[in-house]
Amino acid sequence: MRGRPALITLAGLAVLLAVPQTAQAGGGIKVGWYSQQVRPSRAAAGARIHVSAARPTQTGDRGATSGTQAVVVTVKTQGGAASNLPPPFPALSTSSPILKDRHPGGPGSFWYADAAGHACQYVPNSVSPCFTLVGPGSNSAGQVSPSTVAQSLARRVELAPGEIKTSPARSGLTGAQSWFWLDPAPTRQSLSISLAGETVNVTADPTVDWRFGDGGSLDGGPGVPYQADAPLSDAITHVYDTRCLPGDQGHDPYVLASCGQDGYSVEALVIWRISYSAAGPVVGSGVLPARTTETSASYPVSESRAFLVSGGGE
């Protein structure tokens, strides 16, 4: 072995590294290893082993001499990359059951094909793998499906209905207009994502179904706060004909059956109509199922009564 280095594979290197540190009394083995990048697509690793051993001496000699032997170990590479590095896109059989799972990484995940035809997983807020398909149909990987991406995005759009505000604030009055609005007012929400050169945008537009608790309802917008000069086209108003105050139910025979313990229950159902558009290798658009959020508030309604009072005469 002296005079030239010996070439071995990774398996041989593992065996050498497992050699005990001391071969015999007075001798031993020291191992040093290294790794480095040779080129952008190639890495090399190796080890240098120093062996020292005690040599037999004549009887009566108290000292001993030792020799040193160096062994250079070089790791062979395969295909321009170190043989112990995993492939960038592991093989996956086209018959693998996971390919049939619409959500391979849990809720909101899905499969898509990249520009090179690899089967990739999209998992929200994480780095997901891509695979090289092998087997029948391995070259039939489709492009990104905009509708599939849009469905996942739609579930991630945050939709809030706001809080019901009223004027008069504490209680309404029969025969007079009461104003209602949502604060903050729900507005258009959108979310976009780009995958494999495909950009998908999802938009949610709100409309509000108002229910005033006395059987009256109105389809409109979020309303606006009361102002003397506020445009009536944006206002949500309602006129109550029957009072409903706390304690009326069960005591006043003239109140409506819908009168609650704390007044009328006013509800605002916000219906979000969701659509999507896609640009890239696949251009398209469509409509997704609507989502509904809701909020409610108790609203007492009082009444003013007129009484005939006899006037004093002379």
pLDDT digits (tens, 9 = 90+) for 213-264: 999 999 999 999 998 887 788 999 999 999 999 999 888 888 999 999 999 9
User: What local confidence, expressed as pLDDT, does residue 15 receive?
Assistant: 37
- Which of 104-118, 120-134, 213-227 is predicted most confidently? 213-227
Task: Check whether 56 has a pLDDT greater than 90.
Answer: no
**Top-confidence residue, 11 or 200:** 200
Q: Calculate mean pLDDT across residues 275-294.
A: 92
Q: Distance between CA 129 and CA 126 in Å, rounded? A: 10
User: What local confidence, expressed as pLDDT, does residue 7 receive?
Assistant: 40
Q: Distance between CA 179 and CA 240 in Å, rounded? A: 11
pLDDT digits (tens, 9 = 90+) for 165-192: 999 999 999 999 999 999 999 999 999 9
User: What local confidence, expressed as pLDDT, does residue 143 receive?
Assistant: 62
Q: Which residues of 175-207 are buried (b: 16+ CB within 10 A; e: fewer)?
A: eeebbbbbeebbeebebebebbebebbbbbebe
pLDDT band at 132; cut points 50, 70, 90: confident
User: What local confidence, expressed as pLDDT, does residue 19 receive?
Assistant: 40
Residue 239 sits at the vertex; the CA angle it makes with 237 and 245, to the nearest 5 degrees, is: 115
Averaged confidence pLDDT in the chain:
76
- Which of 11-25, 58-72, 116-130 is predicted most confidently? 116-130
**Top-confidence residue, 260 or 45:** 260
User: What local confidence, expressed as pLDDT, does residue 46 receive?
Assistant: 52
What is the largest distance, in Å, between two alpha-carbon atoms of the chain?
Answer: 157
